[in-house]
Amino acid sequence: MRPISLVLLVCLLGCAPSRPELAPTAVPALADTAAERGLGKVVAVTGVVAQVKTRAQHGFAYLNFGAPYPGQSFSVLIPDSATARFGDLERLTGRRATATGRVWLQDGRWPAMTLTDPAALVVAP
């Protein structure tokens, strides 16, 4: 191998500066029963959707994880203006799902997340 080829090969394999700002940021994963630990943070919360309320009050559809309201461990709120993008929400009842977003405390009692992008809600097959 020619010396110039060797130098080029070494530079291509190990001399290029790393770009940590381009590395994907890991999102912490939590179970629905531990969602409160993610308050104020962007996390991925996974659990079983126990109840779907599509015609709920205040302009939101609700996905209650763990148990139906008022015993839920975590809730996902979807504004009425975004529900059509999620398709048939009723199909989620009894399914395992992961919601990714910022956790907040609903009514000062329940950890919750508001989603407007269907990509933030992944349903297990």
User: What pLDDT, in 10s, does the model give residues 18-60?
Assistant: 444 444 568 999 999 999 999 999 999 999 999 999 976 689 9
Which backbone phi and psi does 83 adopt, to 5 degrees?
-60, -35
User: What pLDDT, in 10s, does the model give residues 66-101?
Assistant: 999 999 999 999 999 999 999 999 999 999 999 999
Distance, in Å, from the CA atom of 21 to the CA atom of 67, rounded to the nearest integer, reads 40
Paired tokens of 89: 């929400």
pLDDT reading at 13 higher than 80? no
Q: Exposure pattern of 24-50 as b/e (b: 16+ CB <10 Å)? A: eeeeeebebebbeebeeeebbbbbbbb
